[in-house]
């Protein structure tokens, strides 16, 4: 009996000890041994070492935003904060898009002006033709009335009825002249009517083209305004010290590109002098230094890039196309190594910018909104090619 009681007590003590062990803080180790494997900790988590960074890989300082401007204003949600150089490139891209739209606007504007003049000219031709047609109809009516007053007999019949030989001979001559005049009158009347039809049709076609180019102008204007506004918003969202750093970054990027261009030996063979017309064009262009860039402007107080080269070469006595893209498309091209002062350097793959080479590896140009006509390195932007207005 005592042995049975002792066995029950031993079993109870054993059970109590087991529960004590399982409920202790270290008992989680036992459950972990049979649980599903845990997901590996991500690098950088507390207690988990991340990959070793290269000592040279130093991230650029983040852009400091002014009060009231959030990170989402300049970068998508969830993305890393852009560096100031990223912002510079984005602003540059926006102004490039605005420049392309400006070329489209200027081309549409130039064509609209030409078509408007053609419509005016055709309208004047239509008015003149109508006046001439009315006069010819009156002349034909007068001839018909004269014949009616003569009894309705044609001149040939009247001659046959005359008894005077001299009158007959004189009448033959007059009849021939009258016949010729009638034929000429009818022919001119027909031509005038056909001309009026042609003028009317041409005027209708030109009017449709004019309206199409006006629509293109408005579309391009909206695109220009949109891109410039986006660039200005992005730039104005920066703190004052970041805007100062941004301006320096722009200068540094231009200087780096110019140094690389000069280092390529691009100027080794460029030693030609400007032509007489080229010197006049350069004189005009450099006299505009300090005037602001305004898209679509051709002076005298402001210019866009192609407006400056257009007026400069007009001063040199050589008219050229209005836009940088048309200047690239239509003017004679020369190799960079054969470049001389006065030549035009076309920039970027879409030919959206142009500057005038003035020698010593420099150009004068009107850069973009917010900037002024200035002198900079010819290799500070990506060169597409060179054209020569007076080739």
Q: Which tens digit of pLDDT belongs to each residue from 111-153?
A: 888 878 888 887 787 787 777 777 777 776 776 666 556 555 5
Q: How confident is the model at residue 381 (pLDDT cuts 50, 70, 90)?
A: very high
Q: Is the pTM of this model over 0.85?
A: no
Contact partners, residue 245, CB within 8 Å, separation at least 6: 84
* Residue 339 · residue 357 · CB < 8 Å: yes
Sheet with strand 333-334: strands edge to edge: 333-334, 383-387, 344-347, 353-359, 362-365, 374-377
Q: Is the dihedral of CA 265, 271, 274, 275 positive or negative?
A: negative
CA 290 vs. chain centroid, Å, equals 23
pLDDT, residue 176, reads 60
Distance CA 341, CA 344 (A): 9
Question: How confident is the model over 172-182, as a mean pLDDT?
Answer: 59
Looking at the predicted structure, is the pLDDT value of residue 269 above 60? yes
Instruction: Report, as residue numbers or ranges, the catalytic residues.
Output: 305, 353, 365
pLDDT, residue 301, reads 97
Q: How confident is the model at residue 294 (pLDDT cuts 50, 70, 90)?
A: very high
pLDDT, residue 48, reads 38
Q: Which residue has the tokens 């063979």?
A: 269
Question: HSE of 61 in the Cβ direction (CA atoms, 13 Å)?
Answer: 7
Helix (H, G, I), strand (E, B) or coil at 364: strand
Contact partners, residue 331, CB within 8 Å, separation at least 6: 320, 321, 344, 387, 388, 389, 391
């Amino acid at each position: 009996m005592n042995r049975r009681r002792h066995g029950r007590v031993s079993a109870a003590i054993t059970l109590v000890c087991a529960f004590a062990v399982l409920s202790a803080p270290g008992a989680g180790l036992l459950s972990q041994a049979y649980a599903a494997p845990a997901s590996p900790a991500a690098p950088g988590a507390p207690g988990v070492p991340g990959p070793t960074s290269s000592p040279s890989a130093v991230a650029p300082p983040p852009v400091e935003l002014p009060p009231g401007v959030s990170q989402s204003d300049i970068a998508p949600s969830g993305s890393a904060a852009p560096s100031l150089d990223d912002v510079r490139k984005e602003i540059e891209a926006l102004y490039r898009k605005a420049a392309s739209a400006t070329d489209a606007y200027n081309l549409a504007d130039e064509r609209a002006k030409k078509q408007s003049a053609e419509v005016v000219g055709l309208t004047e031709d239509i008015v003149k033709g109508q006046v001439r047609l009315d006069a010819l109809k009156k002349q034909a009516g007068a001839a018909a009335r004269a014949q009616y007053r003569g009894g309705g007999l044609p001149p040939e019949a009247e001659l046959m009825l005359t008894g005077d030989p001299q009158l007959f001979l004189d009448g033959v001559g007059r009849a021939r002249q009258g016949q010729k005049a009638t034929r000429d009158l009818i022919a001119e009347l027909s031509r005038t009517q056909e001309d009026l039809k042609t003028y009317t049709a041409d005027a209708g076609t030109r009017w449709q083209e004019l309206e199409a180019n006006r629509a293109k102008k408005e579309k391009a204007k909206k695109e220009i305004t949109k891109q410039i506004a986006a660039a200005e918003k992005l730039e104005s969202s920066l703190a004052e010290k970041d805007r100062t750093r941004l301006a320096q970054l722009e200068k540094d990027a231009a200087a780096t590109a110019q140094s690389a261009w000069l280092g390529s030996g691009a100027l080794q063979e460029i030693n030609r002098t400007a032509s007489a017309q080229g010197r006049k064009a350069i004189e005009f262009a450099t006299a505009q230094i300090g005037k602001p860039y305004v898209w679509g402007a051709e002076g005298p107080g402001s210019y866009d890039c192609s407006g400056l080269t257009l007026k400069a070469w007009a001063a040199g006595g050589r008219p050229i196309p209005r836009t940088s893209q048309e200047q690239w498309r239509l003017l004679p091209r020369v190799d960079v190594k054969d470049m001389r002062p006065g030549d035009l350097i076309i920039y970027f793959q879409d030919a959206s910018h142009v500057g005038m080479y003035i020698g010593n590896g420099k150009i004068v140009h009107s850069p973009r909104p917010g900037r002024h006509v200035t002198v900079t390195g010819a290799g500070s932007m990506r060169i597409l090619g060179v054209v020569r207005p007076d080739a």
